[in-house]
Amino acid sequence: MWAVTGHTTTIIAELRKITGSPMQPILTIPLSGELRLADPACGFLLPNDCRYFVLAAGVLNGKKTAEQSGDEIAACLNVNLVNVIRLCELILATVDDARICVVGSESGWKGSYDELYAASKAGVHQYVKTRYGLGPRQQLVAVAPPIIVDAGMTQRRPDLVKLMRSKRKMTTALHVAQTIRRLLQETDQKNEVVSL
């Protein structure tokens, strides 16, 4: 069984199609839903009998750090970094054969207009690369896609028309989902961040 954050993302929708498996959302306590991931002290309830975990929730405010409110800064850091690490640690401590993929971003090493988003993705990449002590049957990897052209995060951008005309490297949610499925079901790679 698969358990995910970001259960409404296009990546998870594509992953559901290509695996033919239900994607169980990782619930938060006391409230459910992705917005609770913005709370640094939220609790997690892992569905029973899960082996595959995809952490795809993300927050991109699309503003310079100095333009962001305290709540926006907290949401970006908590969803993209703090609660990813907390959740990975919970999974690794409780699921002996856990196979985890974190959705990072190319912004983590190339930068972004939203510096805080780039910094939070760089932090999660570093966590994945340096997390030691994985069990012999455990896997922790990340994917770092460029702009995902059909993602809601991209489709909501005010500069979408200009972006689509640019020569920037882009990918699709299907390509990201295929890479995640291959990494978790066909490889034993550990502590790697895979660029797409």
**What integer pLDDT is reported at residue 31 of this predicted model?**
47
**More confident of the two residues 35 and 3:** 3
The Cα 46–Cα 70 span in angstroms is: 29
Angle between helices 10-19 and 173-186 (to 10 degrees): 50
* Residue 21, domain extent: 2-195
Q: What percent of the chain has pLDDT over 90?
A: 66
pLDDT digits (tens, 9 = 90+) for 133-186: 999 999 999 999 998 887 766 556 555 556 566 667 889 999 999 999 999 999
The Cα 2–Cα 186 span in angstroms is: 15
Average pLDDT over residues 4-11: 90
pTM (two decimals): 0.90
Q: What is the CATH number of the domain that holds 185?
A: 3.40.50.720
The amino acid at 184? L
Mean pLDDT score of the chain: 88
Number of domains the chain is built from: 1
**What integer pLDDT is reported at residue 43 of this predicted model?**
78
**What integer pLDDT is reported at residue 7 of this predicted model?**
86
Q: How deeply is 114 buried, as exposed, middle or buried, from its count of CB atoms within 10 A (0-12, 13-18, 19+)? A: buried
For strand 43-45 and strand 27-29, is the pairing parallel, antiparallel, or unpaired? Answer: antiparallel
Summarize the chain as % helix, strand, coil (round to 5).
Answer: 45, 20, 35
**What integer pLDDT is reported at residue 154 of this predicted model?**
59
**More confident of the two residues 34 and 132:** 132
Local confidence band at 90 (pLDDT 50, 70, 90 cut-offs): very high
